[in-house]
Structure 1
Amino acid sequence: MHLQAVPDLPEVRPGDDLAALVAERTDLEDGDVLTIASTVVSKAEGRMADLEAFPAGPRASEIATRLTERTGEEKDPRFAQAVLEESTDLVMDEPFLLTETRFGHVCVNAGIDRSNVPDHDLLLLPERPGESAARIREALPADVAVVVTDTCGRPFRYGQRGVAIGWAGIPASRDWRGEPDRDGRELGVTVQSVVDELASAANLVTGEGAGGTPAVVVRDWEFGDHAGSDNLFRDLESDFVRQALREWEWTPEGDR
């Protein structure tokens, strides 16, 4: 497959038509996949905010005080308040805030970004990134799947990678269960998260920081003749890591 960053995208402002900005700068073809960073989706949807919009309540103040003591770095209780308001579940509150967003994504600090936000303190994730992907897809001039991406860390590994937080025109996963391997053995558990893998591949092209290339066109990739599923975010009943985290009791020394 071939991946190409969409060139010369301007700084995105609230109300901008992302589909038009992309279509003006690249020739899309039926079957392409467009990955687009959540940062520009959020900017187009006006999801910028300032800390003053989140006066800290007692819980946020307590969390910020405890994190300051734990890490030795001053934590703003207004930021903790913003994280709480953007979350439906606080999975961990030490040594960092691990939360579930309103659309089911589990990540640090509810995915709130503090970089590349001119004139504002915070950039919040899109409220409903799946709907955002569908709107962008509907406005494009070709039959193109759309994946809204973000970067986040992974349990048990250093570093961040691209993940999908919204998608349209493509299943989230392709299901290999029931298909044979080369020795004829039937696969029993393999469900491949293709939207995450496309997001991660695109992230190699977009890069991080000041690159200014938030959109990538993926061409000559095919889903193949497999069953598909839109299941991506685990619920609590099937998320054994999250269940285990709930059994931990954190102390300032980091003991259980």
Structure 2
Amino acid sequence: MHLFAVDGLPEIAAGDDLAALIDARVEFEDGDVLCVASTVVSKAEGRSYDYEDFEAGEWSRDIAARLESITGDEKDPRFAQAVIEESEELIVEAPFILAVTKFGHITVNAGIDRSNVPDGDLLLLPEDPSASAQRLSDALGVAVVVTDTSGRPFRYGQRGVAVGWAGMPASRDWRGEHDRDGRELGVTVQSVVDELAGAANLVAGEGDGGTPAVIVRDWEFGEHDGSENLFRDEEDDIVREALRDWEF
């Protein structure tokens, strides 16, 4: 298995044919997986907005005031309004906003980005990253993982995660297989799209030197059962339930 970045992609703007831009710079091989940053997918899909596009309501003003009192930094309630409008639920409102996006991903600020947005103040995640991945997969003939970066509980730093995928299962299921001592595995389900996203993020980099598309080559899913489950079901998510009752 090896990974390499797609070099030479221009700054992506609304309406750009992202698949064609990538295809012109890569000679794809059978079995390749394209990992592409959600930022460029969002830019191509016109998900850049200005603060003026969001009219702050009472709830967003309350959240901004509370965050400002905690952090000491000025908070624009229109940003909180954007998070609210992009979310199914706000699990935590302070000391940060932890949101459930409309497609099921749980992340800080609903994944809204304020970096590298040349034509706006805010960049929202794709409305349906798996649908975006499917369109790219159909156009390019390879599996696609749409990635983002996200923090983790109990650890410092961020890592790449999958927010959408197409052309391959989200995870491979080892349950029913055996370890080297012959013991049957009962719980191991490996989130391969997250692991590929994390590996791709190491190659892609961050900041102004980042490259938003990475090819994974010579990797195989293997003879395993696959699953499309990635985001934990609400009724089984005890961490989400505990955070709902937590107050800062």
TM range (shorter): over 0.9
Scaled by the length of structure 1, the TM-score of the pair is 0.96
Scaled by the length of structure 2, the TM-score of the pair is 0.99
- Answer whether contact 1:9 1:212 (CA < 8 A) is retained: no
The aligned runs of 1:94-243 (5 Å cut-off) are 94-140=94-140, 143-243=141-241
CA distance, structure 2, for counterparts of residue 243 and residue 89 of structure 1: 12
CA distance, structure 2, for counterparts of residue 249 and residue 36 of structure 1: 36
Report the Cα offset of residue 109 of structure 1: 0.2
CA distance, structure 2, for counterparts of residue 211 and residue 85 of structure 1: 31
- Answer whether contact 2:6 2:25 (CA < 8 A) is retained: yes
Report the Cα offset of residue 26 of structure 1: 1.1
Structure 1 stretches of 4+ with a deviation exceeding 6 A read none
* Aligned residue identity for 2:83: V
CA distance, structure 1, for counterparts of residue 234 and residue 70 of structure 2: 28
Partner of 2:44: 44
- Answer whether contact 1:147 1:167 (CA < 8 A) is retained: yes
Deviates more, 1:237-246 or 1:29-38: 237-246
Q: CA RMSD in A?
A: 0.7
* Aligned residue identity for 1:106: I
* Aligned residue identity for 2:206: E
* Aligned residue identity for 1:190: T
Match of 1:246 among 227, 244, 248: 244
Q: SS at 2:118's partner residue?
A: coil
* Aligned residue identity for 1:77: P
Deviates more, 1:32-41 or 1:234-243: 234-243
Output one character per residue of 1:81-129: Cα deviation in whole Å (capped at 9) or x when no partner.
0000000010100100000000000000000000000031000000000
Report the Cα offset of residue 176 of structure 1: 0.3
Q: SS at 2:147's partner residue?
A: strand
CA distance, structure 1, for counterparts of residue 247 and residue 215 of structure 2: 45
CA distance, structure 1, for counterparts of residue 209 and residue 173 of structure 2: 35
Report the Cα offset of residue 249 of structure 1: 2.1
Q: SS at 2:28's partner residue?
A: coil
CA distance, structure 2, for counterparts of residue 155 and residue 249 of structure 1: 17
Partner of 2:60: 60
Q: SS at 1:210's partner residue?
A: helix
Q: SS at 2:156's partner residue?
A: strand
* Aligned residue identity for 1:89: E
Partner of 1:253: none
Report the Cα offset of residue 239 of structure 1: 1.0
CA distance, structure 2, for counterparts of residue 30 and residue 221 of structure 1: 10
CA distance, structure 1, for counterparts of residue 42 and residue 209 of structure 2: 18
* Aligned residue identity for 2:240: R
Report the Cα offset of residue 235 of structure 1: 1.9
How many residue pairs match? The answer is 248
